Amino acid sequence: MTNQTIHVVARFVALPDKVEKLKAILLGLIEPTRLEAGVIKYELLQNQSDPTDFTFVEEWESEAALDTHLASVRLQVPIAKLEGVILPPA
């Protein structure tokens, strides 16, 4: 069995009047996350045709590394700030 990396695509759509707030929250995640053990790639993209649409493209060394990231306080605090800023998942 070969070691395979874990790929994640995480999409967030801002409420129309909350684009800059969402962008600030998401940008604040980049630098600390890139310092975490097991991260290979962590990029934020903003749709040029629809500025409310943001996507993280991530690559992790293992599922354990991703699980550690998802459980971290460093991630949970900003996630709590998303209520009222993003559209609920469809």
Domain boundaries, the chain: 6-80
The pLDDT confidence band at residue 3, using thresholds 50, 70 and 90, is confident
The pLDDT confidence band at residue 2, using thresholds 50, 70 and 90, is low
Q: Which CATH class is domain 6-80?
A: alpha beta
pLDDT given at position 12: 97
Closest by Cα among 64, 57, 67, 65 to 8: 57
pLDDT given at position 11: 96
pLDDT tens track for 12-57: 999 999 999 999 999 999 999 999 999 999 999 999 999 999 999 9
Evaluate if residue 80 carries a pLDDT over 60. yes
pLDDT given at position 47: 98
